[in-house]
Amino acid sequence: MLIEETQRNYGGPCAARPAPHTNVAARRISVLHLIHTMAYGGVETAVLNWLTNFDRERFDAHIACFANPGATERPFVEAAEQRGVRVWRIPWGRRKPIIKAGRALAALLRDQRVDILHTHNWYADFVGALAARLAPVKTITTLYVWFDYDWKRNLLQALDRRVIKRFDLVTAHCEDTRRKTIAGGYPAERLRVLNCGFATRRADLTPAERQARRRAFGVSDEEIVLANIARLYPEKAQAALLRCFKEIHRRAPQTRLWITGVGPLEAELKRSCAALGLDGVVSFLGFVNDLPQLLALVDAQVHPALIEGIPLAICAGMAAGLPIVASAVGGLPEILAGGRCGRLVPGGDEEAFVEAVLRLIAAPEEAARLGRAARQMIETDFSLDAAVRRVEETYLEVIGPCASESSS
């Protein structure tokens, strides 16, 4: 749907709140996910994975996202529609028109007879909480990370801690976020953990195919390719990664670094790369549509992020059987099993990160063992099917006993 159409249909004044929807048990449960997306990253991928794997006889699920200046939501919208998920755009802008967006969302909720509104990220929480006061809907939010950001984002976090108390149920992306939510004063009995899950898919290439594809990227047979898969944002620490890689490459000249992803730091990172003299050995690959195909060409994954939940980029690397060096922040120790499936270093410790990568390069048998353990972990303990069933059970819990009994 075009932005203009959405603003015309869902941007006007709201009528008084009608009576709640009745007879939910007699039809599929309608769920609308609201997401404020600035780039197509892990949160967006997790939401799409959930929606495209729901039991469609029980749930009718769609997405609404904000119409950002510059249409930065477009890659996510296109990916969703390619996977058969309908997306509505809610009017938005630089002045953050929360009231206008809330009214537009409320109109959409009534028009589509939505039973559950599931929000993701701060502004989605703010707009969703307002819309729920204007339209009959149950509300769930998923929280991803708590962190000491700059003053503006810290203020948004503080506001969010107040707003989420209005939701019927609050969920956390990982155990680390759950613990921090409780520490912030939210009652443990009203919290659930909904991890993203991961559908394991890897590209199995013959040695000859892998060699040929790596050569197409300009990689010689003896070179070792490290890859960073993340949005180009400050918290992902690619600037620190470049500094680390300068030392890694000095001590292990056979190394190359691929940085994939898009974001506002792209130009700045490329300038930094040039200033460090790394232009010939670092490649910025942009957004990658087929990540398993790329990861099949990689030798190790490096992830020095300062803030994380459980990143799907790491899950993809684990599914590809890659050895991983990552910061011990957020949900990373959780998904890497405390270091049994990858090497963990303190967040922000560049010297420790360099040493961990160099030790991995020097011990190929240990690297292979970590890769096998990572793949087994993602296949057995973090399946997408189990994650989706948990989300469905949570929806039934929020709707109430009659819907649960009808769906059983």
Both tokens of 313, joined, read: 């980029």
- C-alpha–C-alpha distance, residues 31 and 169, integer Å: 14
pLDDT at 253: 98
pLDDT at 5: 37
Kindly report the average pLDDT of the chain as a whole number: 91
Q: Is the CB of residue 35 less than 8 Å from the CB of residue 44?
A: yes
Q: Is the CB of residue 108 less than 8 Å from the CB of residue 66?
A: no
pLDDT at 289: 85
Instruction: Give the angle subtended at the CA of 164 by the CAs of 161 and 166, to the nearest 5°.
Output: 130
Q: In the Cβ-directed half-sphere of 304, how many Cα atoms lie within 13 Å?
A: 23
Q: Is the CB of residue 255 less than 8 Å from the CB of residue 241?
A: no
pLDDT at 403: 52
Neighbouring C-beta atoms of residue 379, cutoff 10 Å: 13
Helix (H, G, I), strand (E, B) or coil at 26: helix
The residue whose two tokens read 């990858």 is 342
Domain chopping of the chain, boundaries? 3-197+384-407, 207-380
pLDDT at 14: 38
Edge to edge, the sheet with strand 116-120 lists 87-91, 59-67, 29-35, 116-120, 138-143, 169-172, 191-193
96 torsion bin: left (phi>0), alpha (psi -120 to 50), beta (else)? left
Identify the burial level of 190 via C-beta atoms within 10 angstroms of its C-beta, where 0-12 means exposed, 13-18 middle and 19 or more buried. middle
Pick the CATH number of 207-380 from 3.90.1150.10, 3.40.50.2000, 3.40.640.10, 3.40.50.300: 3.40.50.2000
Element (H, E) at 225: strand 224-229
Helix (H, G, I), strand (E, B) or coil at 68: coil
E-strand stretches of 232-365 = 255-260, 282-286, 300-303, 324-327, 343-345
Edge to edge, the sheet with strand 224-229 lists 282-286, 255-260, 224-229, 300-303, 324-327, 343-345
Q: Is the CB of residue 102 less than 8 Å from the CB of residue 135?
A: no
pLDDT of 284-336, one tens digit each? 999 898 999 999 999 999 999 999 989 989 999 999 999 999 999 999 999 99
Low-confidence ranges of the chain (pLDDT < 70): 1-26, 401-408
The residue whose two tokens read 């609201």 is 34
Predicted TM-score of the model (pTM)? 0.79
- C-alpha–C-alpha distance, residues 331 and 146, integer Å: 11
- Considering only CA atoms, which of 81, 79, 84, 71 is closest in space to residue 3? 71
- C-alpha–C-alpha distance, residues 82 and 407, integer Å: 29
Q: Do domains 3-197+384-407 and 207-380 have the same CATH topology?
A: yes
Please give the full DSSP string across 171-185, using - where no structure is assigned: EESSHHHHHHHHHTT
Q: Is the CB of residue 328 less than 8 Å from the CB of residue 344?
A: yes
pLDDT at 248: 98
Q: Is the CB of residue 111 less than 8 Å from the CB of residue 88?
A: no
234's CB contacts (< 8 A; 6+ apart) are: 265, 306
pLDDT at 261: 92
Question: In whole angstroms, how far apart are CA 381 and each of 86, 211, 335, 397?
Answer: 30, 32, 9, 23
Both tokens of 320, joined, read: 């590809």
54 torsion bin: left (phi>0), alpha (psi -120 to 50), beta (else)? beta
Residues in a beta bridge with 283 = 258
At the top level of CATH, the class of 3-197+384-407 is alpha beta
- C-alpha–C-alpha distance, residues 181 and 163, integer Å: 13
